[in-house]
Structure 1
Amino acid sequence: MSLRILFALPGLHRVGRGAEIALMSVASELAKGGDKVTLIGSGEPSEGTPYKFLHSGALPRGLFERFPKLPTLRNETAYEELTFLPGFLWQYNPSDYDITVACSYPFVQWALRRPSGGERPAHIFVTQNGDWPVHSNKSEYRFFSCDGVICINPDYYETARSLWRAALIPNGVAVDHFTPGPGDRAKFGLPEGKRLVLMVSALIASKRVDEGIRAIAQLPDVHLVCAGDGPERAAIDRLAAELLPGRFTRLTAAPADMPLLYRSCDAFLHLSLDESFGNVFVEALACGLPVVAEDWERTRWIVGDDQFLCNTRDQNALAEQIEQSLAPGEAHAEIGRERAQQFSWANVATQYRDFFEQVIAARRSSAD
């Protein structure tokens, strides 16, 4: 029997961040499998999507970077979500769905959990942006509720499983889109004949792009490419101008161009110490790039034991791992590609669907 499923997130169809890509990819697979899937986001409908898309306007978070940090409105993301709420409430009818899925908190979550005249659909919270709402009893997090939690890494799952019905389901990768092949450095304005290390990251402090610049500065013949934007852009540009003159390129790329950008570079560097999952890891692996990242259990759960992991707070160790990653050979690339196959969106969507059925069955059982 098909399910009526709603995915709600302000950035859907407007930006290509990790959470948006994850929800749209799962939604597409479920719709192709026969479920009736609807997305509500601040972008516009696209031709050829297998699901229904409803527009709800929102002001982009970049407009709120200098706004005051207040309880509930703690960052620019919360402000963006608040502006999304009026249009979302206009579009959302609880009786249209068997189950709803969201990963932002608090405003969309509260709207989905508000009392309604009829039966409220089951609700799933996905820990795309962290698991703090799942276990905290402070401030607005005291009002969190759901019928099930999808945890995108083992750490979150161990915390959530004692509090909520929970499932451990990773994010994935479009294995038919992110593939090995020739690059096109000219398209992105990248230098030929140089060894290129790629960072794909929002320009915020937690992504530690500045530490990547400092590490690359120790490798005189390496050029750093940074694909991303964010409030730290000016500071990153200044540091790169000081430490990497002529050896730094910052750009933004459309989601459709990302596989080509990966293939245009020689190694992938990601330095976040609190990444929920990191779709970029499996994207890089799928394109055949070696990965340099923090050596901790969550990273190894994603990339395996064959990548270039270290204590990235040690600048010398980090620079050494980057150097080693730049000549791993074709055999190493094949290992990464094989691992990426485990994270296909088709496999991930099947796990989502199984968990949806479990949650709905549990609700029906408790109501009897």
Structure 2
Amino acid sequence: MRLLFALPGFHKYERGAEIALLSVAKELAKTGDDVTVIGSGQARPDDPYKFIHAGSIRRENFEKFPFIPLFRSETVYEEATFAANLALRYRPADFDAVLTCSFPFTNMALRRPVLGGKKPLNLFITQNGEWPAVSNDAEYRFFDCDGLVCTNPDYFETNKERWNCALIPNGISIERFKLGPGDRAALGFPEDRKIILMVSALIPTKRVQDGIRAVAPMEDAHLVVAGDGPMRDEVKALANELLPGRFTQLTVTPDQMPTLYQSADVFLHMSLLESFGNVFPEAMACGLPIVGHDTPRLRWIVGDEEFLVDTENLTAVTTALTEALAARAAAPAKVSERALSFAWTNIAQQYRDYLTRLMENQA
């Protein structure tokens, strides 16, 4: 199969969407498919796919811009600059299928009319949410796709009657995310406190400030937040007030992520609802107990043995963190079979099976 993956951040950022889609692209390329990736970074010599550069302007440059219909966030501004360059480099006739999780501009650029010949199948992945597929308001009414990859069962149930859907979760590299000693000294973490880890962008939906409030009563705990974003000043100010000397905010490279998890005692995630959340299986694969918001979607990912509560009740979060730390101290860390089921090799095979079915139906 001749496949194209397109996303503004490819080879420029290591965010959740970029990691997920590139992991699928790599696995498909390694097992024989002809894979091309278009992004705003630069080619890397060891990748098994072809890379094409299409520049974009960093979303951070748009944080002060007005948010208006169509341009609803700094992310959409960034995507618009990418889509303009994508349109110049994208040749539909070169591909059997194109895949993205970016809307509106990237999705529309990949669906442009073709004069003669057959258009490639257009797959949209609900990595960042299902909103384009379910809404008919404003620009969302222009959304279309030939196949919808639903990253959780909620999305699948909502969309299966309208779109040609497949339920395929995200995955992890089980070769990288595994049990290990960590390296608190290298990361600058204290050795004499319990480390509670959040891996979150500093944006409202991640509720990092509520995480700070929940950890504050735990005098023996040190909160680490790995991530950055427009709320960095508010987060720092609250941490200085409630967690003086017990807070670290940092960013790490992708190569450091396994060591980051391995250096913690508990993983905390405060988002009320996410399309998937790669961080959960990554943390589980490194042996960390999970404290998160109790939803059927999250239980589908982590199972019923983790410490899931109503995270809008901060007292309940503090209690869950205390229980998770006690459980970690009482037994050696272990990797659940559930975490291993998310290996990227398994996920990529599900993509290939789905693409094969779509192409057979198109023939």
Same-fold call, TM > 0.5? yes
What is the CA-CA distance between 1:359 and the residue it aligns to? 1.3
Farther-moved stretch of structure 1 (243-252 vs 306-315): 306-315
What per-residue deviation string (whole Å, max 9, x for no partner) do you get for residues 46-102 of structure 1?
A: 121111111111011111111111111100110000110222112110011000001
Residue 56 of structure 2 corresponds to 58
Q: Secondary structure at the match of 1:288?
A: coil
Deviating 4+ runs (over 2 angstroms): 329-334
Residue 89 of structure 1 corresponds to 87
What is the CA-CA distance between 1:213 and the residue it aligns to? 0.1
Residue 67 of structure 2 corresponds to 69
For the aligned residue pairs, the C-alpha RMSD in angstroms reads 1.0
CA distance in 2, matches of 1:303, 1:179: 16
Counterpart residue type for residue 74 of structure 1? R
Q: Secondary structure at the match of 1:298?
A: helix
Counterpart residue type for residue 72 of structure 1? L
CA distance in 2, matches of 1:301, 1:333: 21
Correspondence 1:108 to 2:106: yes
Residue 268 of structure 1 corresponds to 267
What is the CA-CA distance between 1:331 and the residue it aligns to? 5.4
1:168-317 map, 5 Å = 168-317=167-316
The normalised TM-score by structure 2 is 0.98
Contact in 1 for aligned 2:179/2:333 (Cα 8 Å) = no
The normalised TM-score by structure 1 is 0.96
Q: Secondary structure at the match of 2:276?
A: coil
What is the CA-CA distance between 1:339 and the residue it aligns to? 1.4
Correspondence 1:167 to 2:166: yes
CA distance in 2, matches of 1:327, 1:11: 39
Residue 31 of structure 2 corresponds to 33
Q: Which runs of 5+ in 1 are unaligned?
A: none
What is the CA-CA distance between 1:337 and the residue it aligns to? 3.2
What is the CA-CA distance between 1:193 and the residue it aligns to? 1.5
Residue 345 of structure 2 corresponds to 346
What is the CA-CA distance between 1:332 and the residue it aligns to? 7.3
Farther-moved stretch of structure 1 (243-252 vs 87-96): 87-96
Contact in 2 for aligned 1:285/1:333 (Cα 8 Å) = no
Counterpart residue type for residue 292 of structure 1? V
Q: Secondary structure at the match of 1:324?
A: helix
Residue 6 of structure 1 corresponds to 4
What per-residue deviation string (whole Å, max 9, x for no partner) do you get for residues 107-146 of structure 1?
A: 0111111111132101100000100100110000001111
Q: Which runs of 5+ in 2 are unaligned?
A: none
Flag the 1:54–1:308 CA change in 2: closer, same or farther, 3 A.
same
CA distance in 2, matches of 1:111, 1:122: 13
Counterpart residue type for residue 187 of structure 1? A
Q: Secondary structure at the match of 2:41?
A: coil
What is the CA-CA distance between 1:305 and the residue it aligns to? 0.5
What is the CA-CA distance between 1:190 and the residue it aligns to? 1.1
Counterpart residue type for residue 17 of structure 1? R
Contact in 2 for aligned 1:290/1:332 (Cα 8 Å) = no
What is the CA-CA distance between 1:326 and the residue it aligns to? 1.1
